[in-house]
């Protein structure tokens, strides 16, 4: 079946906006974009010539095992994988309402993220496209016991760990370059994998066309990540001058995940979060703005990832909120922030040849905004689900209001 969307302003996702164009969709693919398109006889025409139309949003970093409201890590660890999978599917399902058509799980226990992905792919539940990294790979003791990471030490073991995750069918590889805010016994700024281990992991992943993402804080961990040729630096605070220059040379994509700190810091006084997390977030939060601003000015490609599922980062508006924060903290224009949450997020997962922009040959993942709603005037409108009058995923309207 063919579908023709008439648009008032089409935000392509690559920085361009096209006035009064049509988008022709056949089956699940965008086949043409332009004026007065030739269309098949049985084509359904939807007239949105008074509306802004844009690509579906992409969140390139969330965690389906977590719900954002269970704050005690011990309570999370006590949950069964099966329960996490069912809950994760329900949580991710709701993201379509927020115009989110693709998400990536950046580290899950067992096969939880695979189960969520399958539930949508098999059509048992209607939900966004899901990409998975399987288990996060860390050094021995790199995360707290029970967190479900895959431990590996030395280049041979890391090579094997990456191959294991690839054999399980992951879409990308997630590495722990440093300790973490959420882990009780590591410091976020302490380096973990050495440059050589990260390099071997990336080499193995690239052999099968998969990108690597490394979680890293602090000067040394970030430097190891960038020099190793890792595709995406996740978090990356503080981002110093030397590392910024290295990122330019290496072409590293930056995913600062501002929203997760922003939301959590708002709740510090409630006393519900473990003390070590509050301490580490207080350390990191003031460092973010400068690094993100420098990265924007330096022309680094920035991608939206949210860490949705971590304490206080709830399923829903988080990717749009990250775009607003990239504008507010990083000095991006609304258009640049939209590119970060569409094409660049897709690029960070190496799926930008299929998704992230409204162009011929791409999957028809498209959102139509309500009449009078324009994110180029106010990027914050993307945080409200009422702003979306239609969400199309793989050529099919999945939300209509
Ligand atoms: Zn994460």
How confident is the model over 234-291, as pLDDT tens digits? Answer: 999 999 999 999 999 999 999 999 999 999 999 999 989 999 999 999 999 999 999 9
Q: Ligand 1: distance of its center to the CA of 201 in Å?
A: 18
In the predicted structure, residue 347 carries a pLDDT above the cut 90: yes
Q: Ligand 1: distance of its center to the CA of 90 in Å?
A: 19
How confident is the model over 115-138, as pLDDT tens digits? Answer: 999 999 999 999 999 999 999 999
The architecture that CATH gives domain 57-348 is Alpha-Beta Barrel (3.20)
Q: Which CATH class is domain 2-55+357-400?
A: mainly beta
In the predicted structure, residue 90 carries a pLDDT above the cut 90: yes
Q: Ligand 1: distance of its center to the CA of 125 in Å?
A: 24
The residue-averaged pLDDT of 358-362 equals 98
CA pair distance 380, 178, nearest whole angstrom: 33
Q: Ligand 1: distance of its center to the CA of 150 in Å?
A: 15
1 pLDDT band (50/70/90 cuts)?
confident
Spans of all domains in the chain: 2-55+357-400, 57-348
70 pLDDT band (50/70/90 cuts)?
very high
| SS3 per-residue string spanning 83-133 | HHHHHHHHHHHHHHHHCEEEEEECCCCCCHHHHHHHHHHCCCCCCCEEEEC
Q: Ligand 1: distance of its center to the CA of 305 in Å?
A: 9
The residue-averaged pLDDT of 368-392 equals 98
393 pLDDT band (50/70/90 cuts)?
very high
How confident is the model over 159-205, as pLDDT tens digits? Answer: 999 999 999 999 999 999 999 998 888 999 999 999 999 999 999 99
The pair of three-digit structure tokens given for residue 368, joined into one six-digit string? 């139509």
- Coarse DSSP helix, strand, coil percentages of the chain, rounded to the nearest 5 percent: 35, 25, 40
Q: Ligand 1: distance of its center to the CA of 129 in Å?
A: 18
CB 383 within 8 A of CB 320: yes
CA pair distance 196, 298, nearest whole angstrom: 27
Q: Ligand 1: distance of its center to the CA of 107 in Å?
A: 7
């Amino acid at each position: 079946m063919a579908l023709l969307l008439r648009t008032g302003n089409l935000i392509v996702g690559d920085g361009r906006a096209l006035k009064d164009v049509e988008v022709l969709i056949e089956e699940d693919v965008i086949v043409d974009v332009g004026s007065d398109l030739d269309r098949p006889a049985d084509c359904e025409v939807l007239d949105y010539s008074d509306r802004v139309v844009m690509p579906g949003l992409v969140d390139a970093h969330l965690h389906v095992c977590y719900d954002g409201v269970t704050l005690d890590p011990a309570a999370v660890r006590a949950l069964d994988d099966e329960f996490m999978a069912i809950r994760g599917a329900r949580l991710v399902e709701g993201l379509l309402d927020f115009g989110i058509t693709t998400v990536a799980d950046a580290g899950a226990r067992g096969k939880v993220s695979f189960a969520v992905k399958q539930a949508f792919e098999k059509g048992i539940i209607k939900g966004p496209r899901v990409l998975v990294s399987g288990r996060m790979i860390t050094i021995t003791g790199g995360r707290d016991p029970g967190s479900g990471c895959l431990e590996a030490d030395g280049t041979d073991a890391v090579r094997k760990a990456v191959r294991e995750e690839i054999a399980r069918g992951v879409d990308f590889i997630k590495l722990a370059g440093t300790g973490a805010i959420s882990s009780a016994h590591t410091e976020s700024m302490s380096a973990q994998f050495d440059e050589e281990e990260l390099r071997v992991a990336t080499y193995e992943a690239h052999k099968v066309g998969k990108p690597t993402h490394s979680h890293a804080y602090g000067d040394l961990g970030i430097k190891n990540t960038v020099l190793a040729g890792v595709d995406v630096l996740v978090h990356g605070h503080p981002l110093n001058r030397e590392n910024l220059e290295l990122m330019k040379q290496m072409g590293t994509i930056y995913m600062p995940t501002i929203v997760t700190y922003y939301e959590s810091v708002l709740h510090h006084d409630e006393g519900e979060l473990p003390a070590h997390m509050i301490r580490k977030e207080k350390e990191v939060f003031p460092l973010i703005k400068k690094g993100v601003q420098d990265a924007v000015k330096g022309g680094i490609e920035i991608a939206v990832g949210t860490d949705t599922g971590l304490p206080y980062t709830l399923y829903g508006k988080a990717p749009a909120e990250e775009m607003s924060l990239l504008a507010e903290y990083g000095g991006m224009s609304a258009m640049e922030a939209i590119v970060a949450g569409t094409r660049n997020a897709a690029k960070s997962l190496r799926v930008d040849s299929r998704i992230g922009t409204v162009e011929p040959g791409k999957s028809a993942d498209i959102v139509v905004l309500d009449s009078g709603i324009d994110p180029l005037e106010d990027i914050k409108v993307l945080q409200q689900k009422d702003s979306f009058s239609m969400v199309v995923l793989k050529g099919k309207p999945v939300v209509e209001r």
